Structure 1
Amino acid sequence: MKILIAEDDRRLGKLMVKMMKREQFTVDWVEDGVSARDQALSGDYDVVILDWMLPGMDGVTISRSLREEDYSGAILMLTARGELDDRVSGLDAGADDYMVKPFAFEELFARIRSLSRRNFFPVDHNVLKSHDLTIDLQNHITRRGEETIPLTPREFQLLVYFVKNPGRTLSKDQIIARVWEEESDVTFNTMEAFVKLLRKKLGQTKRNSYIKTVRGFGYMWVDDHV
């Protein structure tokens, strides 16, 4: 597993690198926010560990930026902040988990292993895999085995968004904002119709679907790795 640590406390950073290498993780370490963002986007990391207070760019800003750039690995936030509002801010920015300093390394390693099971895709920015589906991002092709599933560009965007967020409940507003972007006239009914069409093309039914309806809120992609 490949991990990026963004921590400006040199003593803690060195200790984290040492302990993670003992666990047979591949580890890189940076000490400022700008480097953390750039390194995370270029290094194919499975997990990025972000300190909340980094020079140059804070952890919440980095997390939000990574998600906007389609970083699909896990993000773990480390911070001395323990208030509920702070935790919510970090998670809303795209972090998958949150640990308050000081922490025990045994718990940190357990969190990392849990995140890797929940969020991990083989890190290939051109291909996503889930269930029996292979999604070619470069050529916009979706296959089940050797069979090509014909999707419109919007259906393809919707599928990619779901697959990149396995096990995560996505609100209808989130889906519209991400898939339709600036097209503010898109209604929930339109979005729901696309979900229905996507389920049909994937050969799913409402009761037996990779796309689970979360009543009163939105949808969740149910992945066999979650």
Structure 2
Amino acid sequence: MRILLIEDDKALCCSLSLLLEQQGFSVTVCNDGEEGLFYLMEDCHDLVLLDRMLPSLDGMEVLRRARQAHCTVPILFLTALGSLDERITGLDCGADDYIVKPFAFEELMARIRCICRRPQRLHETDALTFGDLTFDVQQSLLTCGGKSCTLSKREGALLALFFNNPQQTLPRATILGRVWGPESEIEEGNLDNYIHFIRRRLKSVGSTVQLKTARGIGYRLEATP
């Protein structure tokens, strides 16, 4: 299960992500509201743990924008704002649950298990399209005409980023931060390897879409006539 943790308290992020990973979860961490919304809209996570008080964009606005865009991933508020009115407002705006800091990790796990037991909702944004391609995010399946191929998790996250930012040159640092995480320490050569993998995938399904290199800057996804 993939969890997105949007929280500006870095000490809490460190301890909480470690505990969650010990429970078998894959955790992506970000400390900024705008960045968190970007990750959230990629729809590559199964659950979001969201703080209300965040820099650049507060948690309520992150929640509103996500729901307005028909993003249906479950969102659980983790916040010190625990009055009755604040809890009601958060739930009415589209949160799936609301837990007040400080909380016991055992209670958080119980609430996560509760959310996992709920029937999965249909996602309107599962299928991303660009040019002659369709990418099923949930199945990580790339299709062009009658041909298709399955992508790895990392390949899928990378391709989804380009699908959501078509014909825009994405700097290498931005790609690394969005796909591998802002705190990740990886060699830039890893990105080049995955770009090569994506290009092979595009070729294997016979797509006219190309992943172009912007020399010295990054990459962009283009649809050719």
TM bucket, shorter chain: 0.5 to 0.7
After superposition, what is the alpha-carbon deviation per residue over 1:161-211, rounded to whole angstroms, capped at 9, x for unaligned?
xxxxxxxxxxxxxxxxxxxxxxxxxxxxxxxxxxxxxxxxxxxxxxxxxxx
In the TM superposition, residue 44 of structure 1 has moved relative to its aligned partner by 1.6
Match for residue 97 of structure 1?
97
In the TM superposition, residue 68 of structure 1 has moved relative to its aligned partner by 1.0
Determine whether 1:5 maps to 2:5.
yes
Percent identity of equivalent pairs: 43
In the TM superposition, residue 126 of structure 1 has moved relative to its aligned partner by 2.7
Q: Name the CA distance, whole Å, in 2 between partners of 1:118 and 1:14.
A: 28
Q: Name the CA distance, whole Å, in 1 between partners of 2:14 and 2:52.
A: 18
CA RMSD of aligned residues (A): 2.0
Q: Name the CA distance, whole Å, in 2 between partners of 1:122 and 1:13.
A: 30
One-letter code of the match for 2:45?
Answer: Y
In the TM superposition, residue 115 of structure 1 has moved relative to its aligned partner by 1.0
In the TM superposition, residue 69 of structure 1 has moved relative to its aligned partner by 1.1
The 1:61/1:25 distance shift into structure 2, 3 A limit, reads same
109-118 vs 27-36, which moves further: 109-118
The 1:40/1:112 distance shift into structure 2, 3 A limit, reads same
TM-score, normalised to structure 1's length? 0.53
Match for residue 178 of structure 1?
none
SS of aligned partner of 1:77: strand
In the TM superposition, residue 120 of structure 1 has moved relative to its aligned partner by 3.1
One-letter code of the match for 2:57?
Answer: M
Match for residue 116 of structure 1?
116
TM-score, normalised to structure 2's length? 0.54
One-letter code of the match for 1:103?
Answer: F
SS of aligned partner of 1:49: strand
Q: Name the CA distance, whole Å, in 2 between partners of 1:74 and 1:117.
A: 12
SS of aligned partner of 1:24: coil
Q: Name the CA distance, whole Å, in 2 between partners of 1:117 and 1:26.
A: 18
- Counterparts of residues 148-159 of structure 1 (less than 5 Å): none
Give the total of aligned pairs. Answer: 128
- Listed as ranges, the gaps of 5+ residues in structure 2 are 129-135, 137-225
